[in-house]
Structure 1
Amino acid sequence: MLLSASQESYETMMSLSLKLKHPQQNFSFIVTDKMTQVHWLRDKNLRDVLIHLHEWHLLVLHWIKANQAGQAASFFPTPYNWRTYGGLNQEFVLKHQETSLEQAKVLLAGSHKDMLELIETFSDEALFTKQYFTWTGTTTLGSYFVSSLPSHYDWAIKKMKYQLKADKSIG
């Protein structure tokens, strides 16, 4: 279920990305006064959205692999945590200002594939039993995959659908 939901959301998202009128990296998404959440202002274009997803995949991949290797690792790199990760998201945007849209698509496709392959190494019990791994704290490992794959893709789909609607209204 997690694998199929992740793949379906990914395919929907990438299909929508092809329909954007101005997907190039220097085109800014349309933002209105009602869009007060930070991500609407942070992600200026499709590249920023795709890179955001890719970098979150890398967070999950590095965290799991380190902990599996017996290296106690926090999910976020120092000094970030669940209250301050907004700064990390901004770092991702700045880090990739020279990344092209095509490079972003390739990076995301690769990390998406790596995430699906990693999921396949775990049983449903390992993925969805709370505290199955001590390093996941009070949540399940699967919840990290859900958050960074289908749920995160759904967030990107919402952004793209909004932009597609705006594209139609401006002709």
Structure 2
Amino acid sequence: MARPKNKEELLQQATENFDKLMTLFNNLSDEEKRGTFPFETRDKNCRDTFAHLYEWHQLFINWERENSNGQAKPFLPAPYNWKNYPDMNIKFWEKHQTTSLETAVTQLEKSHQDCLQIIETYTDEELFTKKYYNWTGSTSLGSYAVSATSSHYDWALKTIRKYKKSLK
């Protein structure tokens, strides 16, 4: 699927990919939902995958809120940057080892809706014009939104499909 280039495509892909992800998850048995992925990955199960998505939603939500209110804030919190952000993902994983699957699902569903609500408030121009906001650096707000939603959902879909295939 092509990367969204406007608000309508972004909202459509984010919604469709999220719905596909939740349908795939909901079609797993309770035992499968709680099973461990048999392949090497940072995220060992559905809970870990959903917690990862939730944390990236929080990055987007908090970054957008603070910057749109005039408080300059980088997307990745210190001490992280685009070279060492895998270390941040490990911290997210560690943070959620006591989070229940049910909580991870609830948090993800809410944060998904929060992301869509933020996206809704912007125009195509505001979302997809590079450097429209000085706080988006050399890219666009929409690029960050795509990364936090539709493309991240695509990653999660591939991970859980791989897990489901391994169950056969």
For normalisation by structure 1, the TM-score amounts to 0.90
Give the counterpart of 1:11 among 16, 19, 23: 19
Structure 2 residue aligned with 1:29: 37
Distance 2:151 2:122 in 1: 20
- Give the match for residue 158 of structure 2: 158
Quote the RMSD (CA, aligned, Å): 0.9
Please report how far the alpha carbon of residue 4 of structure 1 lies from its aligned counterpart in structure 2 after TM superposition. Answer: 1.2
Where does 1:22-171 land on structure 2 (aligned, <5 Å)? 22-24=32-34, 27-31=35-39, 40-168=40-168
Return 147-156 or 15-24, whichever deviates more.
15-24
> What is the one-letter code of the residue matched to 1:54?
Y
Between the aligned residues of both structures, percent identity stands at 47
Q: Does the CA-based 8 Å contact 1:58-1:111 persist in structure 2?
A: yes
Residue number in structure 2 paired with 1:35: none
Q: Deviations over 1:32-72 (max 9, x none)?
A: xxxxxxxx421000000000000000000111111111111
Listed as ranges, the gaps of 5+ residues in structure 2 are 1-8
CA distance in 2, matches of 1:142, 1:114: 15
For the residues of structure 2 that align with 1:123 and 1:142, how far apart are their CA atoms?
10
What is the one-letter code of the residue matched to 1:143? S
Return the alpha-carbon distance in structure 1 between the equivalents of residues 161 and 25 of structure 2: 9
Q: C-alpha separation between the residues in 2 aligned to 1:2 and 1:10?
A: 12
Matched residue SS, 2:74: coil
**Cα distance in structure 2, aligned partners of 1:164 and 1:85:** 28
Deviation (angstroms), 1:19: 2.7
Shift of 1:148: 1.1
Shift of 1:18: 1.9
Residues of 2 paired with 1:165 and 1:41: CA distance?
A: 16
* Amino acid paired to 1:76: L
Q: Partner residue of 1:20?
A: 28
Deviations 1:74-111 (A, max 9, x none): 11111000001111101111111111101000000010
Q: Give the conservation status (yes or no) of the 8 Å contact 1:20–1:160.
A: no
TM-score for both structures, normalised by structure 2? 0.91
Q: Across the two proteins, how many residue pairs are aligned to each other? A: 158
Q: Secondary structure of 1:41's match?
A: coil
Whether the 8 Å contact between 1:20 and 1:167 is mirrored in structure 2 is no
